[in-house]
Amino acid sequence: MKKAIFLLLALTLALFFTSATAFADTTSAKTVDGNNDRWEQESTRADTLATMTWDPSADTLHFIGNGYADRQGMKFGFRSNIAFSNTEAGAIIKFPKSFPALRNESNNMHFVVAYVNTWKAWWNSSDNITKSAAFIIRPVSNDTVTVELAGRWAQNSGYGDLSSVKVAEYSLGETRTLEFSLKKDSEGIVTAYVNGAEHGRLDLVLSDGKTMSDYISAFNDGKGYLQFGATLENDAEGLPLEFTLTGLIGATDAFKKPATKPDDTAGEVISQENARAYVKNAGDFNWNYVTLYGASGVLGVSALVFFLLSIRGKAKG
What are the tens digits of pLDDT across the range 51-72?
A: 999 998 888 999 999 888 777 7
Section 144-171 average pLDDT: 86
Per-residue pLDDT of 101-150, as tens digits, reads 899 887 889 999 999 999 989 998 888 889 999 999 999 999 999 999 99
Query: Which residues have a Cβ under 8 Å from the Cβ of 274 and sit 6 or more positions away?
Result: 36, 37
d(CA 19, CA 291): 9
Residues 181-192 as b/e (b if ≥16 CB within 10 A, e otherwise) read bbbbeeeebbbb
Percent of the chain with pLDDT over 90: 44
* Stated pTM of the model: 0.73
Whether 262 shows a pLDDT value over 60: the answer reads no
3-class SS of residue 126: coil
Which amino acid appears at position 19 of this protein?
S
148 in Cβ contact with 167 (< 8 Å): yes
Provide the b/e sequence for 225-238 (b: ≥16 CB within 10 Å): bbbbbbbbeebeee
